[in-house]
Chains A and B, each alone.
Chain A
C-alpha cells in the first residue's frame, strides 16, 4: 500500500495517438472534400477560424443493434405511466432521440472541427492559377527585412543569446569542462538580416451573377460557395485581390458584396449587359497591362434568344482582355439529368466562341459539383464539351 507521485511530464501517449486521430480526420476530410466544400457551416462562417462539419467514414463500425428498433430500459421520477412520451426523434429514421442523453443513437457521422485555412490548403493542393502573367505593375517593389543569417560580428542589439550560450558551452566542453560561463568574444553570435525585394502582384475578380426570376435560393448558394473558395484561392496567389460584383437581369449594375448574395430575383435575362459592364469597368479601373483579370459568370443559361449573338461577341472580347473567363451554368437542385435545352448558354458558348482556350464552362447540378467545378476552373484548361 502506498501513495506515489511520479513525474508524468514525459507521458505523451494520449497526445501522440490524438495526432493519429487527427491524421485520420484529415484523410477523411480529403475524401469528403466534395461535400465539405459546399457545406453551409463554412460558406456562411462569417470569418470564423474553425467550423464543425460532419464527416462520413470516420466511425468505428461494429456489429450493433438498431437503436431505433430496440427496446430500452429507463428510469423515471416515480410517476411514469405506460404511454408517456419521454422523447422525440428529430428526424424519422436517423438522428438522436431527444432526451436520450448518453445513449448513442444513430449519429451517422463524426463532427470534425475544421480550421478553414487548413481546409483551404487541402483544397488548393492541386489547384493552380491559369495564365498567370507578368504585369507591368509587378515592377512595384516592396522591401522586406528577413533575419536569415548568423555571423560572428554584428551589432550588439542583434546578439543571438541562445546560440551564444551554446557556443560558450561547446568551447568550454572542448577545454574539458562543459559548463556555461566565462564568455569570450569568440562565443558571440549575431543575427543579421538581408533585405529582400518583393514584387507585388494584383488580380481582380469580376464576379457576375444572374438574378433573373429563374435563379432561386439553391442556385445563388452554389454561386456563393464557388466565389467563397475562388476568392480565397486567388488571395493565396496574389498580394492584392480586388473583387467587383456585378448582378444582372435584363440590365447590369455594380453592387456591394451583400447585395450580390442577397438580392431578390426578378425579370428576364440579358447576359450581354453584364459583359458590357465588365468590359467598361476593366477599361476604366483595371488596365489589363497591370492586372490579372478573372471574370466569372454564374447563370442558369436562360438567356434571351435575341441576345445570344451579342453575348458571344462580348464574351470573346472579355476573353481577349483577361487571364481566364469562367462560366458556370447552374441546373435545378438534384437534377442530375443533364437538362440542356439547345438555347442554354453553355452549349452556345462551346459552339461559337472564338477563343476557347481561355474559357472554362462547367455545369453544376448539385452541391457536390462545386469542388469538381473549382478543379476545372483552376486545373485543366479547356471547354467542357456537352455530351
Chain B
C-alpha cells in the first residue's frame, strides 16, 4: 500500500469516526493496523496477539491460512477489545473494503465499551496475555515443552467451563478480605505472636493445596476455578497455568455470549455509516456487493451477522412506529427506535436478545425452522411454530452452546474423588468425546473422576480412574 493510500485512509478514519459519533456511537479510540495475511490469520487464530504457544493455535492458523491461500475464505477484519482498541486491516483490501471494515470495527468497539456483559472485561488484556505467554515459556523451559503442552491439552479441554459471573466471586473475596482485616487486632504488645502464625503459613510448600474443604460452596459451575483451587495433585506452576487460562477465558466469555448481537450491531452501523460517506457510483456498487455478502442468509444454516442485523432493524421499526396495540398496551410513543436500539445493545446478551426480540413475523420472514435427524438418516425439518423455534435457538445458545457441567462433590466416596454432574436439559452428550474429556479432567484432578449424565432417558455415571473407563 502506498503512502498516499494510507493518507486517504487516515482521512477516512477521521470522517467515519465523526459520522459514528453523530449516530450516537461511543467507541474507545481505535488504532488501525494494516497487516499482511500471515499476521491477520495469526491474530485471528489466537484471538489476541501475543498469547502463549500451543499446537491447537497452530492448527487453527494453518487451517485458516490454507483456506485463504486457496481462496476459500477471507477474513477482512479482526478487532481487539482493549482501550484503546485495535482493528486489523488486510493489506490487500480495496479502499472501499477498508472503509467498510473501519466502520464495522467501530460498531464492535462501541459494543465492547457499552454492553453491560463487557463491563468487567480487562481492557489491558494484550499486556496480560503477553505476561502469560512469558510465564508459560518459563514453565516450558523449566519443566519441558511436552509436559506443559500435555497439561495445557487437559486444561483447554474444559476451558469453556468457567463461571461467566466469576467477577462477583472475586469481588466477594476482596470484600471478605477487607472484613477479615478489620477483625484483626490492632497494633499491640503481643503482635509478634501473629507473626509466628505467618511464619508457619509460609513454611507450607506451595504445591500443597491450601484448601482443605473441597466440599465447601458446592455445586460449582466453574470447573477451572474449582480444579485450580482444590485439585489434590497439582503443583504450583500447574495451578498458575490454569489461572492464566481462566483469566483469558473470562475475557473471551462476553464475546461468546454476544456473538449475534455484536455482529448485528456492527453490521447495522457499517451500513449506515457507509451511506453517509461520499461514495462514487462504482464505490456504491462495490459496497453494496460487500454488504450483501456479509449479511446474506446462508441456506441451511444461521448467519449471526444477518440474524442480529434483522432483529436490530426490527426493533428500531417497532419502536419508531408502534402498532395501536403496542401504543395502548405498552405505552410506546413512537420515534423511540434509536433510543431502544441503544438500550438493547447495553442490556442484553444473545440469549435474552433472542428471547425478547425475535418475533413471530421475523421467524416467518427469515424462514427459521428446527431440524433434527430422523431415523439416523435424514435431517428433517420438524418444527416451524415460531415460539418453538425461538426456544430451541435460545436453548442452543445457553451456556454458549456448551453442556452445563458442575462439580457436585470433591470428596466423593470419602476418597477425594471428583464427581461432576451434567445438568441435562434434553440434549445428550457426545459420549465418545465425554469419555476422552473425562480423561483430561483426570489429568487435572489426579484421582478417580465421575460424570453423571442422562443417556436414553436413564441416569448414567461415567467413571475414569486413570486406567480404565466404567459406566453404570
Contacts and interface: CB of A to CB of B under 8 A. Distances in A.
Given A66-B430, A73-B392, A76-B367, A86 B298 contact: no
Contacts of B46: 13-14
A67 B427 CA distance: 9
A106 to B, nearest CB: 7
Interface string B145-159: 000010001001110
B380 A61 contact: no
A101 B301 contact: yes
A181 interface: no
A59 B13 CA distance: 42
Interface stretch (B54-62, B115-123, B411-419): B54-62
B56 to A, nearest CB: 6
Contact of A108 (B57, B303, B403, B432): B432
A72 B383 CA distance: 10
Interface stretch (B24-32, B232-240, B283-291): B24-32
Contacts of A75: 297-303, 366-369
B187 interface: no
Contact of A73 (B62, B393, B405): B393
Contact of B300 (A63, A66, A74, A82): A74
Which range holds the interface residue count of chain A? 35 or more
B379 A62 contact: no
A141 to B, nearest CB: 47
Contact of B380 (A2, A83, A92): A83
Given A14-B45, A106-B430, A2 B10 contact: yes
Contact of B55 (A23, A70, A83): A23
A97 B299 CA distance: 14
A62 B36 CA distance: 33
Contacts of B440: 61
A62 B431 CA distance: 10
B437 interface: yes
Given A63-B405, A76-B367, A5 B1 contact: yes
Interface string A144-170: 000000000000000000000000000
Given A62-B433, A73-B389, A68 B371 contact: no
Nearest to A69: B428
A341 interface: no
A94 B376 CA distance: 9
Contacts of A93: 376
Interface in A2-47: 2-6, 8, 11, 13-24
Contacts, number: 238
Contact of A86 (B45, B381, B405): B381
A3 B13 contact: yes
A97 B297 CA distance: 20
Contacts of A70: 372, 396, 427-428
B17 to A, nearest CB: 6
Interface residues of B, number: 85
A80 interface: yes
B16 to A, nearest CB: 10
Contact of A69 (B32, B156, B373, B402): B373
A73 B402 contact: no
B298 A89 contact: no
Given A1-B29, A64-B403, A71-B392, A82 B301 contact: no
A99 interface: yes
B370 interface: yes
A81 B429 contact: no
Contacts of A102: 298, 301
B368 to A, nearest CB: 6
B34 A5 contact: yes
Interface string B224-268: 000000000000000000000000000000000000000000000
Nearest to A9: B36
B168 interface: no
Given A4-B34, A14-B65, A99-B300, A89 B367 contact: no
Given A14-B61, A61-B157, A24 B55 contact: yes
Contact of A17 (B38, B55, B405, B422): B55
Contacts of B332: none
Nearest to A67: B430
Given A72-B371, A86-B371, A100-B300, A66 B55 contact: no
Contact of A60 (B1, B39, B156, B301): B156
B373 A17 contact: no
B126 interface: no
A212 B201 CA distance: 81
Given A21-B59, A63-B437, A72-B371, A1 B377 contact: no
Given A13-B53, A61-B440, A5 B6 contact: yes
10 contacts: A3-B34, A5-B34, A62-B433, A63-B405, A64-B403, A65-B429, A66-B431, A68-B373, A81-B384, A83-B380
Interface of A: 1-6, 8, 11, 13-24, 59-89, 92-93, 97-103, 106, 108
List 8 A-B pairs, minimum CB-CB distance, nearest first: A17-B58, A14-B42, A61-B436, A87-B379, A21-B58, A20-B55, A14-B61, A76-B367
